[in-house]
Amino acid sequence: MAKKTHKSPEEARAAILDAAEKIVVDVGPAGLRISAVAKKANMAHPNVIHHFGSREGLLNALAERVGTRATTRITAAISVALEAKPEDRVKAMTHVLDTAYQGDEGKLAVWLHLSGVESSFKSNMEKIVLLSHRLREAVNGEVDYTNTGRLVMLVTLALVGEVVSGSSIKEALGFGREDGNRAHFRQWLAEILLNLSDAELSTSLNPIKTK
């Protein structure tokens, strides 16, 4: 059976990355083989090498794609939250949290991160912190940028933890179906984040200067 051809290099790269993404979600990065990717993408093995150079190059490109895709969604959602009326902010902030990981993307991101693949993680996080800081300023006035970064880190760790073992943790803590479901938790977290001023984030390690 003849291998499928793609009209452009961009289409070929997208088909290869789609195939690699499905394989990593199913078996993890350790199970990713160029031959398997080529078969799933319906193209020849050399084509994959031509576009990505190696298995490591393919994994790095996949991590870049996943990070950029998530960052684009998150920053767009924060931009919407910036324009939301005060009474709509909780809903808008909950949507921001909902956009972080969609479908199997959370599992994929965790797999790739644990594998140590390279990506633009730093630049993506900087974009998210910058917009998050503008949102905190809109809600609470003058706020500390370092605290915004810490909050973004805290939220990121919470969402990653939810992907890894959220169901088990909720069950161990005794949460029921309603008060422990994803939507309930994210709305609760959204309200907490919107109500946290710098004064409430003051610690001995990070004292807030008062005028």
Q: Going residue by residue through the chain (211 aa), what tens digit of pLDDT does each one get?
A: 445 555 688 999 999 999 999 999 888 888 889 999 999 999 999 999 999 999 999 999 999 999 899 999 999 999 999 999 999 999 999 999 999 888 888 888 888 887 777 666 788 999 999 999 999 999 988 899 999 999 999 999 888 888 877 778 878 888 876 665 778 888 999 999 998 888 888 888 777 665 4
Q: What residue type is assigned to position 166 of the chain?
A: G
Residue 81 has φ and ψ, to the nearest 5°, of -65, -30
Q: Which CATH architecture has domain 7-53?
A: Orthogonal Bundle (1.10)
Burial 169-179 (b: 16+ CB within 10 A, else e): ebeeeeeeeee
Global pTM reads 0.84
* Integer-rounded Cα radius of gyration of the chain: 20
The beta-strand segments (E) located in 42-108 are none
Other Cβ atoms less than 10 A from the Cβ of 143: the count is: 22
Kindly list the domain boundaries of the chain, sorted by start residue.
7-53, 66-201
